[in-house]
């Protein structure tokens, strides 16, 4: 009996574990400004600036140490801190600890983040070999990654030291293969590879997933209240979006950002293509903000605002990366713009979805929690001025909506179309409020946070496909081509690979589910099934267009599944997929 009670209490607590990062984490990380050449003084100076500038109160709470803090792993397994870098970490008895550092951040009303590695060796040991702050000692002593040490390391970082956030990188699984110079010369032991950069099909995704799953179990064992954010850093590799949301709160969707317009757009695109994977407690992470650096410095306010606007519409973590102590006030004000942050942090957690593309332009819309409110980003990606118009109907809104510019606060009333003139590289970010185009109808692409991907069928993709395709997309086919059924374009819908299983949380609030489904190209036999709480509500096998219209009264979880011929990659559209109240 006592056991059962204990188990029930534990599972209630584990349930609570998911209740972290219900909105995208916000904060600061030293990597982009300092790499491993950072120290406690620099970090605390930035922490003081976060407080004094008002950015802490605007939401930037997590101060996250990155690579470089470790000196060595002792023979007893415990990691020692580099106390030259963290002077407060040298205790009176000669041992080392990051607890004093964490306490200093907590005393400022901030949260503390730390960095570690899922493999044996860290990224700096492969890619920053000139760093003065690399781990020291024997080959084993320099293996400061969590591989083989998950339980002890989580007890140290999250239990003893009390960090609130842990970023877990993965170079140890990718960059220590026998042919790498730093392995051939005997500096590090060979490992894997379990991740092959740019080759998701060649990665051992299942083993990578198991490692992160194991780490999450250890995190929950140390911190059963679930008050730790786990940030998974496999740079979009190992088909991470397909599984990361079960263990982590954020996952990187791409390689490291650089302070260039091109890199920023590239990283944005990798997150923007995956709105159906995200929701409260599980966020696509296109990497840290480059505000203050390169093409986003004080001489580029248009680009800086665009960068933050794109992260906000994509519900991305907002982690600043510049040395805030020298950041001009104008840029601090951009970072702290409350109306933009409010869009990023909207509690409904629906990531923005692309509804229109033009030459160098893009329109994304994000359903907000307040009834009748939507955020819209109109993006000029190119170097020439552009006029962008989007019919309100494309945003599922009736004519006559009110619009407020999130940057200027300017208000206006719209007719049937929203038109903006954009300077080169400008993004307009607006909040619209008004009536729904078709009251009582909600497209699945309007509520991506309610969608959960149970299986995305990615394992079937060929090498070339695996590198570029996104298995479950909104308003596009997995290949990235426009969504079509039987040769005809479909404006709104979900594109999947046959074999995918997509769940939608209805919580009993809807009367019907409707869609026109079919294959994107060619006449391939596919079985379509709609399940309500596990019961088959609709099943059809055929090659043509399928009309689906099923009652879902009282259904909590809807499931959409498709099955094509074995071993064949088939793109399927759930066109105009909608719920009706
Ligand atoms: C990887 C990560 C970066 C940073 C460095 C540290 O490249 O993607 O964000 O943490 O490692 O070495």
What is the residue-wise DSSP string for 73-109? E-TTSPEEE-TTT-GGGB-TTS-B-SHHHHHHHHHTT
pLDDT of residue 201: 87
Nearest CA to ligand 1 atom 6: 67
Q: Where are the beta strands (DSSP E) in 253-299?
A: 283-285
The DSSP result for 36-75, as a single string, is T---HHHHHHHHHHHHHHTHHHHT--EEE--TT-EEEE-T
Assigned token pair, 502:
């997509």
Instruction: Find out whether 59 and 26 touch, Cβ atoms under 8 Å.
Output: yes
Q: Nearest Cα to 171, choosing from 152, 195, 136? A: 195
For ligand 1, the distance from its centroid to the CA atom of residue 302, given in whole angstroms, is 27
Q: Residue 541, class by beta-carbon neighbours within 10 Å (0-12 exposed, 13-18 middle, 19+ buried)?
A: exposed
CA distances from 304 to 264, 268, 317, 320 (A): 10, 14, 16, 12
Q: What atom of ligand 1 comes closest to residue 31's alpha carbon?
A: 4
Assigned token pair, 96:
């080392």
Rounded-to-integer distance, Cα 348 and Cα 110, Å: 24
Helix or strand or coil: residue 513?
strand
The verdict on the CB of residue 169 being under 6 Å from ligand 1 is yes
Rounded-to-integer distance, Cα 346 and Cα 341, Å: 8
Helix or strand or coil: residue 373?
strand
For residue 256, indicate whether it is catalytic: yes
Look-up: residue for tokens 């591989």?
147
Rounded-to-integer distance, Cα 530 and Cα 550, Å: 9
The top-level CATH class assigned to 353-437 is mainly beta
Instruction: Find out whether 428 and 478 touch, Cβ atoms under 8 Å.
Output: no
Superfamily (CATH H level) for 2-259: Aldolase class I (3.20.20.70)
Assigned token pair, 11:
């599972």
For ligand 1, the distance from its centroid to the CA atom of residue 377, given in whole angstroms, is 29
Assigned token pair, 180:
């790498």
Question: φ and ψ at 334, to 5 degrees?
Answer: -65, -50
Nearest CA to ligand 1 atom 8: 256
Q: Which of 30, 33, 67, 68 to mutate to test the pocket of ligand 1 (most atoms within 8 A of CB)?
A: 67
Q: Nearest Cα to 314, choosing from 355, 269, 255, 357? A: 269
Q: What atom of ligand 1 comes closest to residue 127's alpha carbon?
A: 12
Helix or strand or coil: residue 187?
coil
The verdict on the CB of residue 123 being under 6 Å from ligand 1 is yes
pLDDT of residue 49: 98
For ligand 1, the distance from its centroid to the CA atom of residue 502, given in whole angstroms, is 32
For residue 39, indicate whether it is catalytic: no
Instruction: Find out whether 422 and 359 touch, Cβ atoms under 8 Å.
Output: no
Rounded-to-integer distance, Cα 231 and Cα 248, Å: 6
The verdict on the CB of residue 256 being under 6 Å from ligand 1 is yes
Enumerate the CATH 3.20.20.70 domain ranges in the chain, comma separated: 2-259
Please give the angle made by the CA atoms of 173, 175 and 178, to the nearest 5 degrees: 100
| H or E stretch covering 125 | helix 124-127
Look-up: residue for tokens 């970490």?
89
The one catalytic residue in 66, 67, 153, 169 is 169
Q: Which of 169, 258, 263, 289 to mutate to test the pocket of ligand 1 (most atoms within 8 A of CB)?
A: 169
For ligand 1, the distance from its centroid to the CA atom of residue 457, given in whole angstroms, is 29
Q: Nearest Cα to 97, choosing from 157, 52, 44, 26? A: 157
The DSSP result for 416-483, as a single string, is SEEEEEE-TT-EEEEEEE--BSSTTEEEGGG-GGGEEEEE--GGG--HHHHHH--SSEESS-TTSSPP
**What's the Rg (C-alpha) of the chain?**
24
The verdict on the CB of residue 40 being under 6 Å from ligand 1 is no
The one catalytic residue in 128, 256, 505, 533 is 256
Q: What atom of ligand 1 comes closest to residue 256's alpha carbon?
A: 8
Instruction: Find out whether 192 and 177 touch, Cβ atoms under 8 Å.
Output: yes
For ligand 1, the distance from its centroid to the CA atom of residue 459, given in whole angstroms, is 27
Check the CA dihedral 467-472-474-475 and report its sign: positive
Q: What atom of ligand 1 comes closest to residue 115's alpha carbon?
A: 10
The verdict on the CB of residue 258 being under 6 Å from ligand 1 is no
DSSP 351: P
For ligand 1, the distance from its centroid to the CA atom of residue 439, given in whole angstroms, is 46
Rounded-to-integer distance, Cα 168 and Cα 175, Å: 15
Q: What atom of ligand 1 comes closest to residue 287's alpha carbon?
A: 9
Bridge-based pairing state of the strands 535-542 and 526-532: antiparallel
Segments in 223-376 forming alpha helices (H)? 261-272, 301-313, 329-335, 338-344
Nearest CA to ligand 1 atom 5: 123
Assigned token pair, 456:
């995305």
**Packed helices 301-313 and 261-272: angle between N→C axes, nearest 10 degrees:** 10
For ligand 1, the distance from its centroid to the CA atom of residue 122, given in whole angstroms, is 9
For ligand 1, the distance from its centroid to the CA atom of residue 469, given in whole angstroms, is 24
pLDDT of residue 110: 98
pLDDT tens for the chain, 581 residues long, are 343 444 444 444 444 444 799 999 999 999 999 999 999 999 999 999 999 999 999 999 999 999 999 999 999 999 999 999 999 999 999 999 999 999 999 999 999 999 999 999 999 999 999 999 999 999 999 999 999 999 999 999 999 999 999 999 999 999 999 999 999 999 999 999 999 999 988 889 999 999 999 999 999 999 999 999 999 999 999 999 999 999 999 999 999 999 999 999 999 999 999 999 999 999 999 999 999 999 999 999 999 999 999 999 999 999 999 999 999 999 999 999 999 999 999 999 999 999 999 999 999 999 999 999 999 999 999 999 999 999 999 999 999 999 999 999 999 999 999 999 999 999 999 999 999 999 999 999 999 999 999 999 888 899 999 989 999 999 999 999 999 998 899 989 999 999 999 999 998 889 999 999 999 998 999 999 999 999 999 999 999 999 999 999 999 999 999 999 998 999 999 999 999 99
Q: What atom of ligand 1 comes closest to residue 255's alpha carbon?
A: 8
pLDDT of residue 486: 85
Instruction: Find out whether 300 and 261 touch, Cβ atoms under 8 Å.
Output: no
Helix or strand or coil: residue 218?
helix
The verdict on the CB of residue 526 being under 6 Å from ligand 1 is no
The verdict on the CB of residue 67 being under 6 Å from ligand 1 is yes
Rounded-to-integer distance, Cα 272 and Cα 316, Å: 9
Enumerate the CATH 2.60.40.1180 domain ranges in the chain, comma separated: 353-437
Q: What atom of ligand 1 comes closest to residue 128's alpha carbon?
A: 12
The verdict on the CB of residue 117 being under 6 Å from ligand 1 is no
Instruction: Find out whether 67 and 31 touch, Cβ atoms under 8 Å.
Output: yes
DSSP 160: I
For ligand 1, the distance from its centroid to the CA atom of residue 134, given in whole angstroms, is 14
Enumerate the CATH 2.60.120.1060 domain ranges in the chain, comma separated: 442-580
Nearest CA to ligand 1 atom 1: 123
Superfamily (CATH H level) for 442-580: NPCBM/NEW2 domain (2.60.120.1060)
């Amino acid at each position: 009996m006592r056991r059962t009670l204990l188990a029930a209490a534990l599972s209630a607590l584990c349930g609570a574990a998911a209740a972290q990062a219900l909105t995208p984490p916000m904060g600061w990380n030293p990597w982009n400004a300092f790499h491993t050449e950072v120290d406690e003084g620099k970090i605390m100076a930035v922490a003081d600036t976060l407080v004094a500038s008002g950015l802490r109160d605007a939401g930037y709470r997590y101060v996250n140490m990155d690579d470089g803090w470790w000196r060595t792993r002792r023979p007893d397994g415990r990691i020692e801190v580099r106390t030259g870098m963290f002077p407060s970490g040298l205790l009176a008895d000669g041992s080392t600890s990051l607890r004093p550092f964490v306490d200093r951040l907590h005393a400022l009303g901030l949260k503390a983040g730390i960095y570690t590695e899922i493999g044996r060796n860290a990224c700096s040991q492969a890619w920053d070999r000139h760093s003065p702050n690399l781990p020291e000692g024997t080959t084993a002593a320099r293996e400061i990654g969590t591989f083989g040490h998950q339980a002890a390391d989580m007890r140290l970082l999250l239990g003893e030291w009390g960090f609130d956030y842990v970023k877990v990188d993965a170079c140890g699984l990718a960059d220590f293969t026998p042919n790498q110079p730093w392995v051939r010369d005997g500096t590090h032991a060979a490992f894997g590879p379990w991740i092959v950069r740019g080759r998701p099909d060649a990665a051992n995704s299942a083993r990578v997933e198991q490692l992160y799953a194991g780490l999450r179990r250890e995190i929950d064992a140390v911190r059963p209240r679930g008050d730790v954010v786990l940030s998974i850093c496999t740079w979009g590799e190992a088909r991470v979006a397909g599984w990361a949301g079960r263990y982590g709160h954020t996952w990187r969707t791409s390689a490291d950002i650089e302070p260039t317009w091109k890199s920023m757009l590239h990283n944005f695109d990798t997150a923007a293509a995956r709105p159906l994977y995200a929701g409260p407690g599980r966020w696509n992470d296109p990497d840290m903000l480059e505000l203050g650096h390169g093409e986003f410095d004080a001489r580029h306010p248009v680009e800086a605002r665009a960068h933050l606007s794109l992260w906000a519409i994509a519900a991305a973590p907002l982690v600043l990366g510049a040395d805030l102590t020298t950041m001009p006030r104008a840029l601090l004000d951009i970072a702290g713009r409350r109306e933009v942050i409010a869009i990023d942090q909207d509690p409904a957690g629906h990531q923005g979805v692309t509804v229109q593309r033009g030459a160098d332009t893009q329109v994304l819309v994000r359903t907000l929690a307040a009834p009748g409110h939507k955020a819209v980003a109109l993006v000029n990606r190119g170097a020439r001025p552009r006029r962008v118009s989007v019919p309100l109907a494309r945003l599922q809104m009736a004519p006559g909506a009110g619009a407020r510019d999130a940057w200027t606060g300017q208000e206006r009333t719209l007719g049937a179309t929203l038109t903006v003139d954009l300077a080169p590289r400008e993004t307009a970010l607006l909040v619209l409020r008004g009536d729904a185009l078709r009251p009582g109808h909600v497209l699945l692409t309007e509520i991506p946070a309610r969608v959960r991907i149970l299986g995305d069928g990615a394992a079937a993709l060929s090498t070339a496909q695996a590198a570029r395709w996104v298995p479950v997309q909104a308003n596009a086919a997995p290949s990235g081509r426009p969504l079509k059924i039987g040769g005809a374009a479909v404006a709104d819908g979900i594109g999947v690979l046959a074999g995918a299983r997509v769940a939608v949380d209805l919580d009993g609030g809807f009367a019907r589910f409707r869609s026109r489904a079919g294959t994107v190209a060619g006449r391939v036999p596919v079985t379509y099934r709609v399940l309500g709480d596990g019961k088959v509500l609709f099943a059809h096998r055929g090659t043509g267009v399928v009309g689906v219209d099923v009652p879902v009264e009282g259904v909590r979880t809807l499931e959409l599944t498709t099955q094509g011929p074995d071993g064949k990659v088939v793109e399927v559209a759930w066109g105009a997929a909608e719920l009706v109240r």
